[in-house]
Structure 1
């Protein structure tokens, strides 16, 4: 039995994410506060104060890079700490975009301190290079598109140059300047394809990221790895080499493919996926893949949801000892 933890990137965040756990689980609370102190020491805002601002509602726009770039990893790391404290340790970790940095941290390929230093450097470079990206209506962004059939996927291939990544067999993420994204949105609207703007103010995984390549490679903090039995499954190219500045930049720049990552795990007979993204982003694509492959010995469950019930989800997870089948997913 292989246990796989999944981590997400920009666009999966919302205010009050994990609040029930923060208020009721001492391990989750303590670990999130630890990461909040690290971010404070780097000159940022406390992630717990940002996320749990009483004036903010989960539906409010949450796209300030100086806040989200730290908040998303901190939440997912605290969730991981909470589960590992209870004895649920992953055999494999996999993430997309920002989530791949979290996966590298959980597998001890980079330290927690180095992770947040790397993220702080990215925030500094992006904000100084694209000073008005989060205010300019002609600036940058990302959108998520769900294609209803193969014909729609073929039509969307017209915009291949703007593709940031694939979350599932039918779910694509596009990135770039907003005029380009507007054309994709208009195309989707005309053709009955579901498309949604993401709460992301920068065009990650686009050519625009090349503008920070040189300063990032020059200033990237040193990374030291520790021996760990946890395997990282990359959604960039599947490699497992030790991270260096070039690899760390590729995670930010190159397209990701979560579906390809799932395929690389297909040789395992039974896998229990734990979706640690704040929104349960991976539950649908993993569930559909398992059902398509008739993998009744495998399953997935998400711990967080924008609709709450985090405590009940954790309790259900523990009752099942983290072992869910495809049939269990609909009842969680």
Structure 2
């Protein structure tokens, strides 16, 4: 059994997708995306500047285009997944791999998601806390969150890697408390707002409308949504999970457990972030950031 996992917004960097754009199958996807998106991303991925690339309006399309280009490379070589998952915005790419979305629909949806989220007031922040359990971080969240300063655990990336998301002032106070409580590392993320938190609620109605209006098909294979961390082939469940994901917690630790039975896992995109998270829980995951990873997959089916 082979599992494809797709990285999210936090993996963008100048130069991303270089070898994928040089591959015939990957280049075709990038060219198609440039034609469909409000602003082409290939040149931005290749040359930056970084300040523009990491902006939500550009970062989400950029990482999705690289993910879909990597998927096209795998498909051109005869590789298809048996189960898929995507981290945050990477879930859109996973749904494409599962046959729920076609490439054009995936690109259209990510453009809408990015636009809606970028349009929200920039009042939030996110910080990663490492060396503490999610339960320990949640206790700290309860100390600093308030009615006018929402704060939540936005992502459980690994058993000792939790990301808090919410009002900037609350995030700052939590970072101080976590450091005092003995966290191994506390790192402010370079993001424009508090994703996977109540501060994204303003985009929820528009996102739900876009998702429900999109042409969707039942998945050919199981999908593990972020919001549930349970493999499913039920389209209504997948649609609901994709919508609530905007404000809901990314349950990646549980997702990795759900995928741990796969014989082979590969991070489909130009990133090593998910491969590193799997490694932290003792599970091997190849990364297409290394072009040789494709050659280490199971043999291609006979023609």
Q: Which TM-score band applies after superposition, normalised by the shorter structure?
A: 0.7 to 0.9
Instruction: Give the C-alpha shift of residue 246 in structure 1.
Output: 4.0
> Of 282, 285, 297, which residue of structure 2 is paired with 1:290?
282
- Residues 182/322 of structure 1: CA separation in 2 closer, same or farther (3 Å cut): farther
CA displacement 1:223-262 (0-9 Å, x = unmatched) = 3334553321122112442157644321212101111112
Instruction: Give the C-alpha shift of residue 302 in structure 1.
Output: 1.1
Query: Which ranges in structure 1 are unaligned for 5 or more consecutive residues?
Result: 134-138, 292-298, 305-312, 324-332
Query: Which ranges in structure 2 are unaligned for 5 or more consecutive residues?
Result: 143-150
Q: Is 1:28–2:26 an aligned residue pair?
A: yes
Matches within 5 A, 1:293-304: 299-304=284-289
- Residues 194/62 of structure 1: CA separation in 2 closer, same or farther (3 Å cut): farther
Q: How many residues align?
A: 287
Query: What is the rounded CA distance, in whole Å, between the counterparts of 2:137 and 2:155 in structure 1?
Result: 16
Using the size of structure 1 for normalisation, the TM-score is 0.77
Q: Is 1:140–2:124 an aligned residue pair?
A: yes
- Residues 241/121 of structure 1: CA separation in 2 closer, same or farther (3 Å cut): same
Matches within 5 A, 1:30-69: 30-39=28-37, 44-53=38-47, 56=49, 62-69=53-60
Q: Is the 8 A contact 2:124 2:199 kept in 1?
A: no
Q: Specify the alignment match of 1:122 in structure 2.
A: 113
Q: Specify the alignment match of 1:314 in structure 2.
A: 291
Q: Specify the alignment match of 1:171 in structure 2.
A: 161
- Residues 126/283 of structure 1: CA separation in 2 closer, same or farther (3 Å cut): closer
Q: Is 1:274–2:260 an aligned residue pair?
A: no
CA RMSD of aligned residues (A): 2.6
Instruction: Give the C-alpha shift of residue 106 in structure 1.
Output: 1.4
Using the size of structure 2 for normalisation, the TM-score is 0.84
- Residues 8/321 of structure 1: CA separation in 2 closer, same or farther (3 Å cut): closer
Q: Is the 8 A contact 1:47 1:70 kept in 2?
A: yes
Matches within 5 A, 1:251-262: 251-262=245-256
